[in-house]
A = this chain, B = another copy of it.
Amino acid sequence: MVNLLVTLNSTYIKPLKIMLKSLFINNKEVRFNIYLMHSRLNDDEIEDLNNYIQSHESLLHVIYIDDNCFANAPILLHYTKEMYYRLLAFKFLPQDMDRILYLDPDILVINPVNELYNIDINDYLYGAAYHDKTTIKEINKLRLYPYEIDAYYNSGVLLMNLDNQRKLIDEETIYQFVQENRTKLIMPDQDILNALYGKKIKALDEKLYNYDARYYRYYKIMSGGEWDMDQVINNTVILHFCGKKKPWHKNYSGVFHSLYKHYEKLAFKTI
């Protein structure tokens, strides 16, 4: 069994199902324990998701977060408390669980996840990838100064060492950081992750485990042509549709648009 964590509001149910479909199709021998943290889904939505996941021989576990859960958490303009879910998930997951893979819903899983899931992160809190475009890295370094940042990890794919998190992460530190840096934070959960825990993250290969779907040409050029479409389709595990333009929006265009729509069709076809 592979443990999977997702956090969600109802506008993301559709992409979540597409992400899960791609995961199921490309991991036919694996069953998943899927933990869903949410505060706003209704019973019908939950039941629908439950049926969907069970029909693929995996299990849904719902973690409902009520208003008291993050009572002390500072709130930022434009952000809800959902920004804390993935960082503090270890508090709500079974206490004997040692490992879980968190995935954003704006993802396609196009190859088996077993190697990713089993990466050695014994000495870390997380496994994650940073997107190695120089400009991004430099901007974030400056922005989060004086916190030292070697890399700016993307929080959309997080392999979590829950044992270590229970020992080393506490919510008060996080709340305090947010309080003190509220004007600086742009992508709060990601900023927290990097500023507070960046040194305890094992760097994963982004081209395999968090491929930014916007940068096909960039990856191809930077790898001297090696990472062409063949390479991506056969080796990349996680294709991440980062940024504001999403492949389920009207008028999206991008190199992986047709592939995304293909999985979308599979996710919703009735036959």
The answer to whether A233 touches B261 (Cβ under 8 A) is yes
Contact of B257 with A257 in the complex, beta carbons under 8 Å: no
Contact between A258 and B255 (Cβ–Cβ < 8 Å)? yes
**A261 in complex: contacting residue of B230, B250, B253, B264, CB < 8 Å:** B230
What is the size, in residues, of chain A's interface with B at 8 Å between Cβ atoms?
Answer: 20
Contact yes or no, B258 A258, CB < 8 A? yes
Q: Which residues of B contact A262 (CB under 8 A)?
A: 110, 233, 259, 262
In the bound assembly, the distance between CA atoms of A255 and B229 in angstroms comes to 12
Instruction: Report the Cα distance A130→B214, complex, angstroms.
Output: 35
**Top 10 closest pairs, chain A to chain B, by CB:** A258-B259, A233-B261, A256-B258, A229-B261, A229-B257, A259-B259, A233-B265, A259-B262, A234-B265, A233-B262
Residue interface mask A223-264, B partner, CB < 8 A = 1: 000001110111000000000000000111101111101101
Copies in the complex: 2
What is the CB-to-nearest-CB distance from A224 to chain B, in angstroms, rounded to a whole number? 13
Smallest CB-CB separation from A213: which chain B residue?
B258
Closest to A217 in B: B253
Contacts of A229 in B (CB 8 A): 252, 257-258, 261
Provide the residues of chain B in CB contact with A259, threshold 8 Å. 258-259, 262
What's the minimum C-beta distance from A109 to chain B, rounded to whole angstroms? 13
Chain B nearest CB, measured from A218 CB (Å): 14
Min Cβ gap A234→B in Å is 6
Nearest CB to that of A110 among chain B residues? B262
In the assembled complex, which residues on chain B have CB atoms less than 8 Å from the CB atom of A110? 262
5 residue pairs from A and B, CB less than 8 Å apart: A228-B251, A233-B258, A233-B262, A258-B258, A262-B262
